[in-house]
Amino acid sequence: MDLAYLRAHPEHLPTFLTHQRIRETPVGGGSVSAASRLTLDDGTSIFAKTWPEGSTAPDGFFAAEAAGLEWLRSAGAIGVPEVLVAVPSMIAMEWIEPGSASRAAASRFGRELAALHRSGADAFGAPWPGFIGPLPLDNTMTTGPWGPWFAERRLLPYLKKSADSGALTATDVAVLDGILKNLFSYAVSEPPSRTHGDLWPGNVLWAAGDRAWLVDPAAQGGHRETDLAELALFGGVPHLDAVIGAYDDVYPLADGWRERVPLHQLHLLLVHTAAFGGSYREAVMSAARAAFAA
């Protein structure tokens, strides 16, 4: 199988892998999928993700990732890998050669992320069923205000799941309920941006050529400040100041955006308590307390 054959017959890739007709090298793929580098007969490398052996991917899981990557890539604003294969059991895309996270790459990333956000979205949400990590993501589209959408579609489902599993206490839930009530009346003047939706530092691939690429999206029409806030989580991306500075030069941020960072981080942090348990509780509550104080 070479690249031309793969483009013509993407549905054959799982069969070739099953019969060991393609060289496969495991690589780091995160906490949800199993990832590998595949080498085709013409020497082309591609990046593939499958569900861990012994289990089956949720219906639509890889289709959602493919739809998000293609939607982000269609803006022509920032590096996004080309999807080559998207079938129920796997996704495969062009291989991006890793590089270093230089300040030049960070500045370029900030400018390109600003251009992506500015390309816009028709509504909050997306026209395909979504996933974030291993969990479903309600992408029901709405043209209403951002605050109620963020509360109902991006915080409440993961707050409920976290409470039901015991990852958050009743006292924690009461604090977060106060934030939800305020959000239901919170409006924002900006239109929806074209966002990555799960932009923690691990989903930024620093590549050769002083460029950063977006991977593993939960792409959606959203608030651009959410993407930027998530870049600061879990230690933050390298040279975050350069990213933000270059971004702000291209697409100036609204007054008070720094104070809103904890609010925007709550979505992804609640996803973590919902999916991975109480080890993320303190991060959630720290963000909640800061959001209340803002």
The Cα–Cα gap between 82 and 66 comes to 9
Question: What residue spans define the domains of the chain?
Answer: 3-94, 103-293
Q: Could you give the percent of the chain with pLDDT greater than 70?
A: 98
Check residue 32 and give its pLDDT.
79
CATH topology assigned to domain 103-293: Aminoglycoside 3'-phosphotransferase; Chain: A, domain 2 (3.90.1200)
pLDDT tens sequence across 208-265:
999 999 999 999 999 999 999 999 999 999 999 999 999 999 999 999 999 999 999 9
Reported confidence tier of residue 30, pLDDT bands at 50, 70, 90: low
pLDDT at 74: 98
The tens digit of pLDDT for each residue in 143-161 reads: 999 999 999 999 999 999 9
Strands, DSSP E only, in 155-286? Answer: 193-195, 204-207, 211-214, 220-222
Per-residue tokens: 50: 């499958």
Alpha helices by DSSP H, listed for 19-102, are: 61-74
pLDDT tens track for 169-208: 999 999 999 999 999 888 777 999 999 999 999 999 999 9
Contact assessment for residue 76 and residue 70, using Cβ atoms and an 8 Å cutoff:
no
Report the half-sphere exposure of 226 (CA within 13 A, side-chain side). 26
Residue 29 is predicted with a pLDDT of 61
CB 66 within 8 A of CB 91: yes
Provide the whole-model pTM.
0.95
The answer to whether 77 and 61 are in contact (CB under 8 A) is no
294 pLDDT more than 90: no
The domain defined by 3-94 carries CATH number 3.30.200.20: yes
Residue 119 has pLDDT above 80, yes or no: yes
Q: b vs e for 86-109, b when ≥16 Cβ sit within 10 Å of the residue's Cβ?
A: bbeebbbbebbeebebbeebbbbb
Question: Mean pLDDT across the stretch 85-112?
Answer: 96
Contact 239, 213 (CB under 8 A): no
- Eight-state DSSP code of residue 98: B
